[in-house]
Chains A and B, each alone.
Chain A
């Protein structure tokens, strides 16, 4: 699989939904496969909360394969022998695209807490600039899970002529009260970390590690299903020699401690807050008197909405709502409810039905 990583600079800048202007910005972008001569085989994949441009294959900068490696590659659901996959890191993230850890051209200091709030629409607008820069008129598909799915939906709404298919996976048309509440607990744990320094930690050469760790530990639970956790950990006790600390009794505690610590070693705290706020704020129907079908009525892309039975963060019914609203507006839209056992994270793991469905969706 041909793969390329490139930093794309946009000197024309971007006006964000909040009104702030970034005079210039960069997007770190991975591409997989080859763009065909009429540029009709490009698929945009949008990452979720903690994801990055590294969606497939191995990379020298990462220990693990890309976040959607199970689905992207030769003969996989998103077949790189057929498609040219474009995977940008989102604005406001911390993996190379402009975000809170970037130096601001205005102040010559890192943005830190002063990085403006970004929204799903801002991401989509910046991705449109990337599309133009690559000379692609219309994506063969925009796809993503979780907030990535929200971006796929926003794409179909905002740029109906520039996307042919949109796959909205393990997502919702808006964050629920419970989604926002869970995010707020995570944010609170970050803000209350003494090393957060009101978001100015980088200038003070410190980092709110324990806050980010606790935030991730909570979030991680919401990505798994109860059944999956029971199967994997049950009530098994952690062996003494592999305990991360003396306070640990159960395997599940040790696992969360370990995962949380790892995450806090590479994920920026301000980015955590920005990403979670973007998720909370997503609500394309808001401008249409909360009528989702009105928000969707100009969509020309074919929609595929996928929910997973074990997902309780964005349960299948939330996807169903999107399909129903699309159908009320006469949009070509399908809804699938897959068996994935891994809770919300199911969208990351391939299985026969998931793969066949995506293949068929992309084929037509």
Chain B
């Protein structure tokens, strides 16, 4: 079964695009995109298990810590960059995102929403939230820069990124019209298509 997020992302990417996926995990997203949209994709990953998965999936992968800088990719002419559930793990997410939008025309970002009502209730009850979008315990998580939908959209406005499209997901990580009413309260995750002005 195709992950619903993959379906959203797929619709935003032209066939045969050059794609770079920052924090690509085992490369399964790039694999879907390659098999269905015939894209040429490279994954950036730091986790050895993810890298091994990419090699198994026959996805070109580069072992790299994004926090150490991504300037070297500036001459690679990517059409689309992807940051699926990885931006909150970076040391300087705003700086990285800005960089990414200089080396690629568009950037697809997914963020877990800390403003989601389930997260708010967990916090109200005095607990760190654990949801399908934020599955790890507080001590096991790699997330160091969590934000809410509102926070993220503020950042896009402040940095002058254009939000060309966005989709908000429910607790099953599926697009939901209901979530659109109050995305910051009702969506577990936001998926954004950003462009630079």
Chain A interfacial positions (CB closer than 8 Å to B): 302, 304, 320, 323-324, 327-328, 330, 332-337, 353, 356-357, 360-361, 363-364
Given contacts A334-B54, A334-B55, A353-B48, contact A328 B61 (CB under 8 A): no
A310, chain B: closest CB distance, angstroms: 15
B52 within 8 A of A: yes
Show 7 A/B contacts (Cβ-Cβ < 8 Å), sorted by A: A320-B72, A324-B73, A327-B76, A334-B60, A335-B64, A356-B52, A364-B56
List the A side residues contacting B64 at CB < 8 Å: 335
User: Which residues of chain B (40-87) have a CB below 8 Å from chain A?
Assistant: 40, 42, 48, 51-52, 54-56, 58, 60-64, 72-73, 75-77
List the B side residues contacting A324 at CB < 8 Å: 72-73, 76
B71, chain A: closest CB distance, angstroms: 11
List the A side residues contacting B76 at CB < 8 Å: 324, 327-328
B18 within 8 A of A: yes
List the B side residues contacting A353 at CB < 8 Å: 48, 52
- Per DSSP, chain B at the interface is mixed
Closest to A321 in B: B72
Closest to A361 in B: B55
Contact A327–B42 (Cβ < 8 Å): yes
| B60 interface neighbour in A320, A328, A333, A337, Cβ under 8 Å | A333
List the B side residues contacting A302 at CB < 8 Å: 60
B81, chain A: closest CB distance, angstroms: 13
Measured between alpha carbons, how far is A195 from B63 in the docked complex, in Å? 49
Contact A364–B60 (Cβ < 8 Å): no
Known: A327-B42, A328-B77. 17 other contacts (CB 8 A): A302-B60, A304-B55, A324-B76, A327-B60, A327-B73, A330-B18, A332-B60, A334-B55, A334-B60, A334-B61, A334-B62, A335-B62, A356-B52, A356-B55, A360-B52, A364-B56, A364-B58
Closest to B74 in A: A328
Contact A360–B55 (Cβ < 8 Å): yes
Contact A328–B75 (Cβ < 8 Å): yes
A226, chain B: closest CB distance, angstroms: 23
Measured between alpha carbons, how far is A337 from B48 in the docked complex, in Å? 10
List the A side residues contacting B60 at CB < 8 Å: 302, 327, 332-334
Measured between alpha carbons, how far is A302 from B58 in the docked complex, in Å? 10
B21, chain A: closest CB distance, angstroms: 13
Given contacts A327-B42, A336-B63, contact A357 B52 (CB under 8 A): yes
B100, chain A: closest CB distance, angstroms: 15
Q: Number of B interface residues, CB 8 Å?
A: 20
Measured between alpha carbons, how far is A161 from B58 in the docked complex, in Å? 20
Contact A357–B40 (Cβ < 8 Å): no
Measured between alpha carbons, how far is A333 from B59 in the docked complex, in Å? 9
List the B side residues contacting A360 at CB < 8 Å: 52, 55-56
Measured between alpha carbons, how far is A336 from B58 in the docked complex, in Å? 14
Given contacts A360-B56, A364-B58, contact A336 B51 (CB under 8 A): yes
Measured between alpha carbons, how far is A353 from B47 in the docked complex, in Å? 12
List the B side residues contacting A361 at CB < 8 Å: 55
Measured between alpha carbons, how far is A324 from B71 in the docked complex, in Å? 11
Name the 7 nearest CB pairs between A and B, nearest first. Answer: A360-B55, A364-B58, A335-B62, A360-B56, A337-B63, A334-B61, A334-B60
Measured between alpha carbons, how far is A363 from B54 in the docked complex, in Å? 12
Closest to B53 in A: A360
List the B side residues contacting A333 at CB < 8 Å: 60
Measured between alpha carbons, how far is A337 from B62 in the docked complex, in Å? 9
Measured between alpha carbons, how far is A330 from B42 in the docked complex, in Å? 10
List the A side residues contacting B54 at CB < 8 Å: 334
Closest to A316 in B: B63
List the A side residues contacting B40 at CB < 8 Å: 330
B47, chain A: closest CB distance, angstroms: 12
Contact B55–A357 (Cβ < 8 Å): yes
Measured between alpha carbons, how far is A353 from B18 in the docked complex, in Å? 29
A240, chain B: closest CB distance, angstroms: 46
List the B side residues contacting A364 at CB < 8 Å: 55-56, 58
Measured between alpha carbons, how far is A335 from B51 in the docked complex, in Å? 10
Measured between alpha carbons, how far is A357 from B51 in the docked complex, in Å? 9
A286, chain B: closest CB distance, angstroms: 20
Closest to B75 in A: A328
Measured between alpha carbons, how far is A299 from B171 in the docked complex, in Å? 46
Given contacts A324-B72, A328-B75, A364-B58, contact A335 B63 (CB under 8 A): yes
Closest to B43 in A: A334
Measured between alpha carbons, how far is A320 from B40 in the docked complex, in Å? 19
B11, chain A: closest CB distance, angstroms: 24
Given contacts A328-B76, A330-B40, contact A323 B58 (CB under 8 A): no
List the B side residues contacting A328 at CB < 8 Å: 75-77
B146, chain A: closest CB distance, angstroms: 29
